[in-house]
Amino acid sequence: MREITYAEAIREALRHEMKLDDKVFIFGEDVGAFGGCFGVTAGLFQEFGPERVMDTPISESAILGTALGAALMGLRPVPEIMFVDFTTVCFDYLTNQAPKVRYMCGGQVEKLPLVVRTTSGGWIRAAGQHSQSLEGWFTQVPGLKVVMPATPYDAKGLLLAALRDNNPVLFIEEKALYATSGPVPEGEYLVPLGQADVKRAGKDITLITYAGMLGHTLAAAQTLASAGIDAEVVDLRTLSPLDHDTLAKSVQKTHKAVVIQEACEMGGVAAQVVKSLVDTSFGFLDAPIKTVAALNTVIPFSPPLEDITLPSADKVVQAAKALMS
């Protein structure tokens, strides 16, 4: 199978759906002729024209307000918020308006197809206002699906599924993954929302993670294997709704778990995963569940300090070995 980058996989999904459905259109800051801050929408402006790939003013509230109106009128908008940090500017539309419309209109709104693309995470030395991992906030919002792919294959398949969903979806792309490559089929395929995936089978311990931390976690699993520890790695892929069954099945097999997130340790997705495992698998656990996460501090601009702040493969190995001992 051919290999393409994470960014190319996302672009391919967008192009496929735009060709298939003329109601799909993209808009945001610099997504047009410039091709997007990270080059993801490159070439789409030239292919589909300014009516379907639109540059906007620097106003996140205007972007999502327009998206909400367009979805209500039967279009399938794909707005881009350049960094997840900037969702704070349009938080009302993303959490208080779009996810609740179908619940508050007495059945008059049958669907609200809206896919908000944004980027997340550190490792690109962009400091405290462009490096956050805020996905945990949005899992608190009923009516909003939250997706974070870790591989090019999943990026394409999950985005195609999100673009066909009739509910608001927050599709968060890890900036540090854009240049990574992997096998991706040329044709159409969907990865269902709400299904986790076992990326590495194992029998001794379960490592649960998502998005940019998957690569670090798989590297940790290799290191653990050299020490005789067979780790199973589960990629959440969709954060809301959470796939409780896959998590329970893995941990009930291995009896131990480490949950890894790039976001700060306080709150977030890892805490919800731990809660899920306590609810479904407490009696199967041989040891307390451990978590690995970023320190509760602002992401530093200094590369050495950022490396200390964010989780790593070494930290995952240390946590796993502590459980095994």
In 35-73, which positions are buried (b, 16+ CB within 10 angstroms) versus exposed (e)?
A: bbbbebbbebbeebeeebbbebeeebeebbbbbbebbbe
According to the model, what pLDDT value does residue 267 have? 85
270 pLDDT band (50/70/90 cuts)?
Answer: very high
Residue 167 has pLDDT above 90, yes or no: yes
What is the Cβ-side half-sphere exposure of residue 66, based on CA atoms within 13 angstroms? 18
Taking residues 45-57, report their average pLDDT.
97
Percent of residues, the chain, with pLDDT higher than 70:
100
Tokens of 235: 């990629």
| pLDDT of 25 higher than 90 | yes
130 catalytic residue (yes or no): yes
The per-residue pLDDT of the chain, averaged, comes to 96
Residues 296-305 pLDDT 10s: 999 999 999 9
pLDDT of residue 248: 98
**What span, in angstroms and rounded, lies between the C-alpha atoms of 37 and 94?**
21
Residue 171: per-residue pLDDT? 98
Catalytic residue among 12, 60, 135, 173: 60
- Among 8, 17, 29, 130, the one annotated catalytic: 130
Instruction: Give the pTM.
Output: 0.96
What would the pLDDT profile of 208-222 be if each residue is shown by its tens digit? Answer: 999 999 999 999 999
Residue 265, token pair as written in the block = 């340790």
pLDDT of residue 147: 98
pLDDT band for position 88 (50/70/90)? very high
Kindly report, residue by residue over 273-283, the tens digit of the pLDDT.
Answer: 999 999 999 99
Span 71-80, pLDDT tens digits: 999 999 999 9
The rounded distance, in Å, linking the Cα atoms of 279 and 252 is 12
CA 135 to chain centre: 8
Question: Which domains, from first to last, does the chain contain?
Answer: 3-183 (3.40.50.970), 197-324 (3.40.50.920)
Quote the pLDDT of residue 107. 85
Tell me the mean pLDDT in the region 142-165: 98
**Per-residue model confidence (pLDDT) at position 145:** 98
Judge contact between 15 and 186, C-beta under 8 A: no
Residue 325 has pLDDT above 90, yes or no: no
- 100-146 pLDDT, tens digit per residue, is 999 999 889 999 999 999 999 998 898 989 989 999 999 999 999 99
Mean pLDDT of 59-85: 97
Q: Taking the CB of residue 2, how many other CB atoms lie within 10 A of it?
A: 8
Closest CA to 211 of 249, 258, 245, 261: 261
**Cα–Cα distances in angstroms (integers) from residue 295 to residues 77, 215, 275, in the given order:** 36, 19, 21
